[in-house]
Structure 1
Amino acid sequence: MGPSSGHPRSVLRGRRSECEVLTRLLAAVPTGRSSVLVLRGEAGCGKSALLDFMLERTSGFRVVRVVGVESEMELAYAGLHQLCAPMLDRVERLPVPQRDALRVAFGLQKGDVPDPFLIGLAVLTLLAGAAEEQPLACLIDDAQWLDRASVQALAFVARRLMADPVALIFAVREPSDELTGLPELKVQGLGERDSCLVLASAVRGPLDVQVRDRIVAETRGNPLALLQLPRVLTPAELAGGFGLPNTAAVANRVEQSFSRQFRSLPDDTQQLLLTAAAEPIGDLTLLRRAAALQGIRPDAAAPAVAAGLVELGARVRFRHPLVRSAVYQTVSVGDRQAVHRALAEATDIVLDPDRHAWHLARAASEPDEAVADELERSADRARARGGAVAAAAFLERATELTPDRERRGARALAAAQAKLESGAPDSAQALLAAAELGPLDDIRRARLERLRAQLAFSVRRGNDAPALLLNAAEHLEPLDAQLARETYLEALGAAIFAGRLSSSGGGVAEAADAARTAPRAPEPARAIDLLLDGLVRRFTDGYEAGVQPLRRALRALSEEKGGQDVTRWLWLGCRIAPDLWDDMSWHELATQQLRLARDAGALTALPLALTYRAGVEVHAGEFASAAELIDEADVITGATGSARLMYTSLVLSAWRGQEAEAMALIRASLEDATARGEGRAIALADYATAVLYNGLSRYQDSLAAAQRVCEHDDLGLYGWGLTELVEAAVRSDRPDLGATALRRLEERTRAAGTDWALGIEARSRAMLSDGQAADDLYREAVERLARTRIIVHLARAQLLYGEWLRRGNRRVEGRQQLHSAHDTFSRTGADGFAERARRELLATGETIRRPSVDTLQDLTAQEAQIARLARDDLTNPEIGAQLFISPRTVEWHLGKVFAKLDITSRKQLRHALADSSPAG
């Protein structure tokens, strides 16, 4: 699709509206507004031409252009390296975790596997820094052929750009899941009039009207097809139209036309084009070395250049990706193998060992252990860079090329593990089947069973996973004691999720009983060993027997301060702590988990850490802080394409008394949990329902939900459910049910012995008592809970005490307790309980005003979090690193904060936010 004449810069025919969109998009960038767009359309529709149009209009911009190549899809971060290469001189200015992650990803240094989204954050910081000097335009063509790791990182960047002068434009045939949801412009075929004009420009001489109409109709206005297809029609066909209509897809027809052009070239030229098509990076020096190895003449490229199929400049560039595809697919398998063999020989094995190995693999016509071994080493390097997809691809091809059956089975097992880690469970299942065909030794057979169980859990968090993991653990016992213990702990974790929906019906108790046979823990015992032993005691010998072992496990988790084991199992510690009514350990472990995730930039783990920390904040009465953390988790899961974590959102909305929102979340959670077989989520939904309706004084509804919670001993939730059950039963005039629940509750609270536990027990016992005994118990509950971080339960104790005093006609004393409860509930935003307290105060003759709207409520959750961090003296780069946005975006948000709070400087933030909670 060529430019119209008479203009200094190209104007694309039939693309007026698209060009206007792109022009406005570019014009906004220098003003400090980031622009992101996905151009979507079939091959040949003109996406590349639109990128060229933008390129001509980027005067004053720094421009980086990236082109995805199909054969590069297996090489992790190859596309990202194309984008960042011109800016690598700025890498040393990045924060250390980001700098190291990017350098490891690009193979510039060795290190631990970096979190993929930390790499995305590093790229965001790199682009934002470069854009401070000059507006930046990143044009990414054929994004469907970028390696997945690069697409994931770039999609993350696209979702986090906001106030930086950066344009990020993707051209893609069909967007991947990673790009779904980004602003999109669909590029369709040209209209009939413009199609006729473009077709006329490609045809010399007269064109039969019927032929013209047929070509326009068949190409559906595809510009590349309109320009290319006439070249392969005979003069008779162009003049008279006697040829039969071709019903093949437009892209296929265009590719066929390029194939015919290719076959018309001299043999040496064909061989040179084939070599260029097989060499993805467009390295002209490498192409010439490979050509010389094949005896191709130096001037062989001239006919292809004259035909407009390829350009030889600083890099080798095909006229269109379909030319590359047509050339590569036209020749025989043997010809392709010969070309890859030459490219392998021409590639420096020291500087680029992975491409050398990949070309060798493409050249292999039969199993070859030497090539398979080299591919295995490439997989190790890819894994070290965080390229799980590339590692899986290398190992899969290594499996195919392994002649020995036993080694092939071992490599298939390793490839399956890599496929699971790279998010390709279907491929992992197929490789597991392949691994089973080979003779596996006992340890590999047990590892295979474990991997199959991990697949069942990771794909659907299935309730069949615990039994599969237990079977694998049993087989591992005589082979690898430590791995067996880890697998037993995985089985217990899976059983905790499955809960009442366990496929065997025995649930976590059955898993714990099976884990009794686990090999003895090594000395000194690891934190995960203590977790395993403590959970086994908890679910086999009873709650009381598990208290002390589990406390030792929590201390070990807290004291180890890091390491893969600790990071991996902190989530379990955050569930055990509330089961032990240990609010301090819960706070410490959730804080530690969040700190480790932030320090490592581990965006895959960070949403879960934020969610657990938000749960602590909910019970501490810091609903605003909890909402900020949940909002941050939602933003990250949205940017990374992960599933939203709704659990804490559900509990928060229940405590807030927002019935419509809470019940919508509860229904969605129940439907999802039932479909996946996750019984614990069902218990959590019922607990949230019980809290909601106790707050709204709908005690019969609360009683039914609390009874459902207490049907199974779900870790942590069972004790909480008993607490709600006592209150709902007493208020529903069912003291018999309340007394039964109290006896079950006492077994736990007295064994735990914390102020949280004993305060809850005293509060619950008071509701079933009378006279001075009740008064003493309520006072004890208030005193004990005042020493904890569980502020919402302190306020509920004060509410219950105030209600009891008011009903006993002790109005003055009742007002004091009710005021304290009302103030706490109003401050936190627990509207249901606040209204309950307000009604009680009115019954005492007190006049209560509804709380005024706080100016801080005008701030979004992210604005509030940025404001608090700025108040706490963090710099813009520090805030940006913590919240995964650029410093310029932080400054943009602060401008909005200042306007909403009617202040002009950071110093005034301290006064404006004086009464608000610290940032999470």
Structure 2
Amino acid sequence: MTVTGVGRLFGREGVLRQLQHYLDEVDGGGDSIGLSGEPGVGKSALQAGIATYAEAAGFTVLRARGIQSESQLPYAVLHQLLAPVLPRLSGMPAPQRQSLLACFGLVEARDVNPFFTSLAVLDLLVEAAAEAPVLVCLDDLQWMDRASVDTLAFMARRIATERVVLLSTSASESWLLGDDRTTTWIRIEGLPADVSHSLLRYHAPDLNQAYRDRIVAQAAGNPLALIEFASTPETGTDEELPMTTRLERAFTARADELDPVGRALADVAALDDGDELDPVLAAAAVVAGTAVDTDAVRRVLDVGLLTLSGPNYAIAHPLIGSALRRAMTHDRRRQVHAALATVLSGAADRAVWHRAGAVAGRDEAVAAELERAAAEAQRRGAFATALSRLERAAALSPDPLDEAARLISAAELGYQLGRFAQVEQVTSRVARTTLRPRDRSRLTRLTGVFHDGATSEPTEIRHLVQLARRASGEGDADLAMQLLFGAARRVWWRDPGDTVRRDIVSATHDVAVPSGDPRVLAVLGLADSLELSASVIHQLDLTPPDDGDRADVAALLGIAAFCAGDFLRAESFLSTAVHDLRADGRLSLLAEALAIRSWAEINLGVFDAARSADEGVRLGDETGQRVWAGTARIATAFIDAVGGRWGTPPAFLLQAEQTALQLPNASSSLLAGAQLARGLGELAADRPSQAYAELHRVFVPTDSAYQRVQQLWTISYLVEAATRSGVRDEARSAVDALESQATGSPAIGTTIALEYCRAVLADDAAAEDLYRDALSGAARPFPWHQARLQLGYGTWLRRQRRVTESRDPLRAARTAFDALGAKPWAARADQELRATGERGWQPTASGRDQLSPQEAQIAELAAQGLSNREIGQRLFLSHRTIGSHLYRLFPKLGVTSRQQLAGVLTDRQSSD
């Protein structure tokens, strides 16, 4: 089909060819494209033209248009868009089907999971795309309700392998559908003068040359302005006004031609938040004080303000709606809103919004009603709508204290939605007002919440503790624990000193909750896990087995165990949390749990990015949680370093370090992790002196990478580097200092690290006994830690000229390292064996090494017998995307069926 096949779009041939290319290449994967430009520049015409092309090419075309007056109606756009494919819902898994139907009010549900809704939309479109490629047209993205847009953004991030193209229009480039990695924006500029003249000759051939020249000069290449100005009297418009203002005046002039009944109809349509004509006629009758007949409708249609399609209507162009709204007085707006509220009394969500618009001043009754409507929207998964209603409720609150409380509630929702700028704006505004004590504490907890706390300055942490003590004294234990948890997290990211840590611990013990409360254990672990490790682990020992069955509780217990160094129990609790959070679709908390679990796995010697780290990065990025995305990125870098897969620090490690330096409180912990990864990279490259320099930074109090607890994770690698580079005495002092702080801790991570250090640093007289004790000690069940001891012991034996004895531990170490994929360490063990005279070993090759972490995760789940749809539901991907991954990974593994996967995945691990 030629470009002209889409109709007469003057001067847009290049853009049309560009858009057609995306459609022509859809079998190779989908795209999200946006058209931006000023109103009237032709974005919608281009979209309509390419939709015509797509239909002729066999695409299924789905359309939705944003209307400013509907932007508060949750899922309005989604319902409009999906109506043609909703019959396909019958074949979808129940959780997704019920969630989507509940959003549209078609079934009753206690609450709605927004991520299941998003997955349902993705699956619907992917199913449709299996039969014919799909073009999704979103016109006026900026006016679409945020509940729908958030769902569409989820889809946009997942269509790269699908036969789906998303084409949006917006007044300006928008981040609503993701950043430039997700959506490619094309700026539509005004037409050149010669093309403008051609368009005018086509649409208004009888204009005299002088007036045509004037219109071309005034319209600045805007096609809508060219056509509209050509139809206005030659008295023209004020050339000094902005073009859109002149256009709105032209549209207002059309409305001024109407009689009072017609004008009432036009005004009601401009403020209505639906598209059904009957309610608009009824409300217009209330405003006009007389019935609205078909003649009145015809008059409004004749002047081009509205269009009609069966029982539904639409404003002919967004600028017309804007012009009508601007032309209304405040009294007229309230009159129209009141009429709509009366007519829509059976639609509670819509009616309350119009009642709010009809209020002349502040009104507590309406504010309370909006607050209840916000709770209902939140129950339906429409968090963005709930936030807007809370902000409107705040604006209508007569009592300033109620206003502030509702704004804080809106900010709390904004945090859940990842709306950084909006939360910062609200909290900054509320901070200058008088607040109830509880609301002041809520506000303090929100400060810097996107950075997992604002800063780790001692004065700020003490302030949180003071607020917690006040809340505890007033019997508000829940708020007290929330505040203390926030304070303790700041301590984790950067140590504020002994006094502050002890203050948090003391305040926590004063809260009227049981000592074994998971919140208490998490706070104690975060705040002072070196000194309190033994008591935290003791409380975990007393925890009933079924206490960790709920996601939130399991996550808190996992954090407590992790901070205390009980990585085995941490991995277990966090796996439960990951499983349940995934089932609930709570992606923000899931990203955090995966990031923490990835480090529990690393400390246990499990180096598989597919289990936790890779997904933690993806979900951390998707939910806007830079701290957790950075945490998981560093874990991925560590895993790659162990495998010898980078010679210089990779880009994702540098990106995580940049995040650490940009966030006011996260630099210490993230940078400590980054230094650990860098140190492992240097050890893998056989540069022990450089490794020691990198790792030693974690132990220097004045260094930005200093972190007390993470010294325990780092100390054995520091000792390895020190031993290989000849600075054993320096390492001994670091070990002695750490042992004095961790005295009495039964944590498995602490025990493994210190047993290794004692053996490797021992003098020759004591080394053998310490090696034997360590080899039969805490490290024994963990191949990585055991292999490191075996390598150290075998190396020591060879240095003692006990060559024959050295071979068994060195062979065992080499075999274990090889199986773990720790190729540099396997090569070192082989080098030691070669020095004993043993030759002929070749490292094993695994097909799994050829897979990306996501492919490995999918392969593991498929090997467990899960269907593509079940895997997709777990990973929040379409089942067809899963199928595509399996199709690509089968040849890499040398298999032809799912049944063969288990046999070739040599290090099978269950993945939640």
Task: Report the TM-score, using the length of structure 2 for normalisation.
Answer: 0.89
Q: Structure 1: which 5+ residue stretches go unaligned?
A: 238-242
DSSP 3-state at the match of 1:183: strand
Partner of 1:483: 478
1:586 and 1:616 in contact (8 A); partners too: yes
| Deviation (angstroms), 1:163 | 4.8
2:537 and 2:747 in contact (8 A); partners too: no
Deviations 1:3-39 (A, max 9, x none): x99x98634333333333444544555x585454323
Task: Describe how 1:373-388 pairs up with structure 2 within 5 A.
Answer: 373-388=368-383
Which of 513, 517, 524 in structure 2 is aligned with 1:526?
Answer: 517
Which of 596, 612, 615 in structure 2 is aligned with 1:612?
Answer: 596
| Deviation (angstroms), 1:277 | 0.8
Sort the Cα spacing of 1:885 and 1:376 in 2 relative to 1 into closer, same or farther, 3 A. same
Partner of 1:208: 209
Partner of 1:766: 759
CA distance, structure 1, for counterparts of residue 686 and residue 59 of structure 2: 62
| Deviation (angstroms), 1:592 | 1.4
| Deviation (angstroms), 1:340 | 0.9
CA distance, structure 1, for counterparts of residue 860 and residue 760 of structure 2: 40
| Deviation (angstroms), 1:460 | 6.8
Task: Tell me, yes or no, if structure 1 residue 327 matches structure 2 residue 327.
Answer: no
DSSP 3-state at the match of 2:588: coil
| Deviation (angstroms), 1:893 | 2.1
| Deviation (angstroms), 1:488 | 4.6
| Deviation (angstroms), 1:80 | 2.1
| Deviation (angstroms), 1:663 | 6.8
| Deviation (angstroms), 1:822 | 3.0
Q: Which residue identity is paired with 2:575?
A: T
2:868 and 2:882 in contact (8 A); partners too: yes
Sort the Cα spacing of 1:839 and 1:248 in 2 relative to 1 into closer, same or farther, 3 A. farther
Task: Tell me, yes or no, if structure 1 residue 44 matches structure 2 residue 40.
Answer: yes
Sort the Cα spacing of 1:270 and 1:574 in 2 relative to 1 into closer, same or farther, 3 A. farther
| Deviation (angstroms), 1:353 | 0.8
Structure 1 vs Structure 2 CA RMSD: 3.4
Partner of 2:804: 812
Task: Describe how 1:901-920 pairs up with structure 2 within 5 A.
Answer: 901-914=893-906, 917=909, 919=911
DSSP 3-state at the match of 2:901: helix
Task: Describe how 1:441-480 pairs up with structure 2 within 5 A.
Answer: 444-459=436-451, 461-463=453-455, 464=457, 466-480=461-475
Task: Describe how 1:642-657 pairs up with structure 2 within 5 A.
Answer: 642-643=625-626, 644-645=629-630, 646-657=633-644
DSSP 3-state at the match of 2:169: strand
Partner of 2:149: 151
2:77 and 2:145 in contact (8 A); partners too: yes
Sort the Cα spacing of 1:630 and 1:513 in 2 relative to 1 into closer, same or farther, 3 A. closer
Task: Describe how 1:13-92 pairs up with structure 2 within 5 A.
Answer: 13-27=10-24, 33-57=29-53, 58=55, 61-92=59-90
- Structure with the bigger RCO (C-alpha within 8 Å, sep 6+) is 1
Sort the Cα spacing of 1:657 and 1:303 in 2 relative to 1 into closer, same or farther, 3 A. same
Which of 761, 776, 793 in structure 1 is aligned with 2:785?
Answer: 793
Task: Tell me, yes or no, if structure 1 residue 169 matches structure 2 residue 167.
Answer: yes
2:790 and 2:813 in contact (8 A); partners too: yes
Partner of 1:708: 697
1:272 and 1:296 in contact (8 A); partners too: no
Partner of 2:670: 681
Sort the Cα spacing of 1:669 and 1:326 in 2 relative to 1 into closer, same or farther, 3 A. same
2:334 and 2:357 in contact (8 A); partners too: yes
Partner of 1:230: 230
Q: Report which stretch shifted further, 670-679 or 314-323.
A: 670-679
Q: Report which stretch shifted further, 895-904 or 37-46.
A: 895-904
Deviations 1:139-178 (A, max 9, x none): 2111111122321210111221245443432222223323
1:687 and 1:717 in contact (8 A); partners too: no
Partner of 2:870: 878
Partner of 1:400: 395
| Deviation (angstroms), 1:597 | 2.1
Task: Describe how 1:723-762 pairs up with structure 2 within 5 A.
Answer: 723-747=716-740, 751-753=744-746, 757-762=750-755
DSSP 3-state at the match of 1:386: coil
CA distance, structure 1, for counterparts of residue 381 and residue 304 of structure 2: 39
CA distance, structure 2, for counterparts of residue 530 and residue 673 of structure 1: 26
Aligned residues: 889
Sort the Cα spacing of 1:233 and 1:783 in 2 relative to 1 into closer, same or farther, 3 A. farther
Which of 336, 339, 343 in structure 1 is aligned with 2:336?
Answer: 339
| Deviation (angstroms), 1:207 | 2.7
Q: Which residue identity is paired with 1:177?
A: W
CA distance, structure 1, for counterparts of residue 770 and residue 751 of structure 2: 10
DSSP 3-state at the match of 1:751: coil
Which of 97, 114, 127 in structure 2 is aligned with 1:116?
Answer: 114
Q: Report which stretch shifted further, 372-381 or 705-714.
A: 705-714
Sort the Cα spacing of 1:15 and 1:638 in 2 relative to 1 into closer, same or farther, 3 A. farther
Q: Which residue identity is paired with 1:227?
A: I
DSSP 3-state at the match of 1:890: helix
Partner of 1:313: 309
CA distance, structure 2, for counterparts of residue 806 and residue 173 of structure 1: 73
Q: Which residue identity is paired with 1:47?
A: K
Partner of 1:187: 188
Q: Report which stretch shifted further, 429-438 or 751-760.
A: 429-438
CA distance, structure 1, for counterparts of residue 453 and residue 524 of structure 2: 23
Sort the Cα spacing of 1:459 and 1:358 in 2 relative to 1 into closer, same or farther, 3 A. farther
Q: Structure 2: which 5+ residue stretches go unaligned?
A: none
Partner of 2:283: 290
CA distance, structure 1, for counterparts of residue 244 and residue 561 of structure 2: 54
Partner of 1:594: 578
Sort the Cα spacing of 1:174 and 1:830 in 2 relative to 1 into closer, same or farther, 3 A. farther
Partner of 2:266: 273
Q: Report which stretch shifted further, 749-758 or 279-288.
A: 749-758
Partner of 2:613: 630
CA distance, structure 2, for counterparts of residue 498 and residue 492 of structure 1: 10
CA distance, structure 2, for counterparts of residue 418 and residue 728 of structure 1: 48
Q: Report which stretch shifted further, 273-282 or 145-154.
A: 145-154
Sort the Cα spacing of 1:551 and 1:153 in 2 relative to 1 into closer, same or farther, 3 A. farther
Partner of 1:302: 298
Sort the Cα spacing of 1:684 and 1:265 in 2 relative to 1 into closer, same or farther, 3 A. same
| Deviation (angstroms), 1:273 | 0.9
CA distance, structure 1, for counterparts of residue 111 and residue 520 of structure 2: 25
| Deviation (angstroms), 1:302 | 2.0
Partner of 1:496: 491
| Deviation (angstroms), 1:511 | 4.4
CA distance, structure 2, for counterparts of residue 164 and residue 685 of structure 1: 36
Task: Describe how 1:821-836 pairs up with structure 2 within 5 A.
Answer: 821-836=813-828
DSSP 3-state at the match of 2:776: helix
Deviations 1:86-138 (A, max 9, x none): 44444454333323433443445565654533321121123223444655432
Sort the Cα spacing of 1:424 and 1:165 in 2 relative to 1 into closer, same or farther, 3 A. closer
1:877 and 1:886 in contact (8 A); partners too: yes
CA distance, structure 1, for counterparts of residue 401 and residue 71 of structure 2: 29
| Deviation (angstroms), 1:657 | 4.5
Q: Report which stretch shifted further, 391-400 or 557-566.
A: 557-566
DSSP 3-state at the match of 2:511: coil
Deviations 1:854-893 (A, max 9, x none): 4444433333332232222211111211222222222222
Task: Report the TM-score, using the length of structure 1 for normalisation.
Answer: 0.88
CA distance, structure 2, for counterparts of residue 834 and residue 250 of structure 1: 71
1:420 and 1:455 in contact (8 A); partners too: no
- How much identity, in percent, do the aligned residues show? 31
2:521 and 2:560 in contact (8 A); partners too: no
DSSP 3-state at the match of 1:232: coil
1:496 and 1:507 in contact (8 A); partners too: no
Partner of 1:240: none
| Deviation (angstroms), 1:831 | 4.2
Which of 575, 578, 601 in structure 1 is aligned with 2:562?
Answer: 575
CA distance, structure 2, for counterparts of residue 109 and residue 486 of structure 1: 37
